[in-house]
Amino acid sequence: MPQSFHHIGLFIRKDDPILENAVVKVSQFLSSHATSVVINEPLPFLPELAVLSVSDFPQQCDLTIAIGGDGTILSASRALAGTDLPLVGINVGRLGFLADVTLDELEQQLDQILTGHYREDSRYLMQATINGSSDPIGCAMNDVVIHASQSLHMVEFETSINGRFLNSQRADGVLVATPTGSTAYAMSAGGPILDIDLDALVLASVCPHTLSNRPLVIAADSVVDITLSDNNIANCLVTCDGRPGHLLQPGDTVRIERYPKTITLLHLESHDHYSILRAKLEWGRKLT
């Protein structure tokens, strides 16, 4: 059942150059609407805000508000996955596929969510491990990408799904994306846009040497193994949601599979994913 929220944790990425105005506006609004407000990074222009590590948010907060672009929401989602602490995003970035609260309508929209007028949206993540390790090198809400660390070099690799051989190929890279990430790098690589409610993943090659290698949609519970060729001469990396990558060696196998924990996003009751696609991808532009 929807609930109202009184203990708020603000999540920011300190390197965001357009952050100050947004955080000030949000904190001023919350000062008369919330019992307590904390933030994950100290800010010199708001010294009155108590600072709390995001790992401690679940113990002291009943809602997290991520202020920034989609990258900020991805960071917060990875940190909070599996904690049952819901997350709402305030978009001050460029695209904003994940956040539908805007600074221009902050008071009206955020008040709706704080008073229990929202829709819940559960998103799943992926994890990547190397050579059978039980410790993931990272998790991703958008995508896991294997790519050459140097330009103008192709990667040679083999792909298996659920233990069954799929193909061998050369490409600039390969990625596995969730429905959330299907509008990110996967779309640029020619992959399909997945409905956000689909239990599926996209497997796509980046600039494949053989043009018959097309994006493939597979079940979300699939286990994808990507093994670098022993003859691979390119230095390769595996990256999760575009963060600094992990160096791979020839012969290494990266296993990509569903992360056991999910994250709950909160949207306005009027939220419409197709409307966001039309706006962000200019599908509604008048033809001339």
130-165 pLDDT, tens per residue? 999 999 999 999 999 999 887 678 899 999 999 999
The architecture in CATH of the region 7-117+269-281 reads 3-Layer(aba) Sandwich (3.40)
Count of helix runs (H) and strand runs (E) in the chain? 6, 17
| Parts of the chain belonging to CATH 3.40.50.10330 | 7-117+269-281
Q: Where in the chain is the domain with CATH 2.60.200.30?
A: 125-260
* For residues 8-28, average pLDDT: 87
Give the span between the Cα atoms of 190 and 147, in whole angstroms: 16
Pick the CATH number of 125-260 from 3.30.70.3400, 1.10.150.120, 2.60.200.30, 3.40.50.300: 2.60.200.30
Let me know if 70 is a catalytic residue: yes
Res 69: pLDDT: 87
Using CB atoms within 10 Å of the CB of residue 185, give its burial: 0 to 12 exposed, 13 to 18 middle, 19+ buried. buried
- With cut-offs at 50, 70 and 90, classify the pLDDT of residue 257: very high
* pLDDT at residue 288 tops 70: no
Res 172 pLDDT > 70: yes
Please state the rounded mean pLDDT for residues 205-224. 94
Distance CA 63, CA 91 (A): 17
Let me know: does 174 contact 226? Beta carbons within 8 Å: yes
Q: Tell me, what's the pLDDT at 15?
A: 66
- Give me the pLDDT at residue 282, please: 82
Residue 50, beta-bridge partner list:
38
Q: Is residue 18 pLDDT above 80, yes or no? A: no
CA distance 156 to 35: 55
Confidence of residue 17 (pLDDT cuts 50, 70, 90): low
* Assigned token pair, 138: 């990272």
Question: Among the listed ranges 48-62, 209-223, 236-250, 273-287, which one has the minimum average pLDDT value?
Answer: 273-287
Catalytic residue among 56, 62, 70, 225: 70
Task: Give the pLDDT confidence score for residue 162 in this predicted structure.
Answer: 98
Contact 4, 114 (CB under 8 A): yes
User: Strands, DSSP E only, in the chain?
Assistant: 7-11, 36-39, 50-51, 63-68, 87-91, 101-102, 118-130, 138-140, 143-148, 155-161, 164-177, 200-208, 216-219, 224-228, 236-240, 246-248, 253-268
